[in-house]
Amino acid sequence: MYGAEVWQIPTREINEILSIEMDVLRSARKSRMERIKNEHTKEIMGVKGKPDIIDSIERKRLQWYGHVKRMPEERIPKLIMEWIPRERRKRGRSRKMWMEGVQAAMTTRNLETHQWRNREEWRLVSGRRRKLLKKPDRQKN
């Protein structure tokens, strides 16, 4: 995924990406008509417990964030990342800024803002998987 570290993906598109990923897994082995649960499909394909595509994108984003934060102050990528525009955003632009996505990824992985200073520690903790909220099981009547 070339350039994934600078993508800002809206929530509705995250859901679409995850559903497309599941469709690709399902199309390789099973028909949708068989009504097999996603977890079982992931087991069959051997990807259960492995990070999904959104985890990979967030990990790349956090790696880039740590890399840029460790740069000297005069470097252009660092200046651009810390720049705050004065004007309002134009129509059609995403509502969420890239930095908000980084902050969200950091909170889901329980990262603190100062951890980027230690490169080895940041490499270990930024690769952590995000914590997903478990949906309550539906009770059958």
Closest by CA to 39, choosing from 30, 51, 48, is 48
- The series of mean pLDDT values per 10 residues for the chain, 141 residues long, is 78 85 76 72 77 84 88 88 76 74 84 82 71 50 45
Using only C-alpha atoms, what is the Rg of the chain? 18
Q: What DSSP state is assigned to residue 134?
A: P
Residue tagged 């902050």 (tokens) = 103
**Cβ-defined contacts of 94-102 (< 8 Å, 24+):** 94/8, 94/10, 95/10, 96/8, 96/10, 97/8, 98/6, 98/8, 98/61, 101/8, 101/9, 101/58, 101/61, 102/61, 102/62, 102/65
Q: Look at residue 61 and give its three-state secondary structure.
A: helix
User: Residue 75 has what pLDDT?
Assistant: 92
**Alpha-carbon distances, residue 4 vs 1, 29, 92 (angstroms):** 6, 28, 21
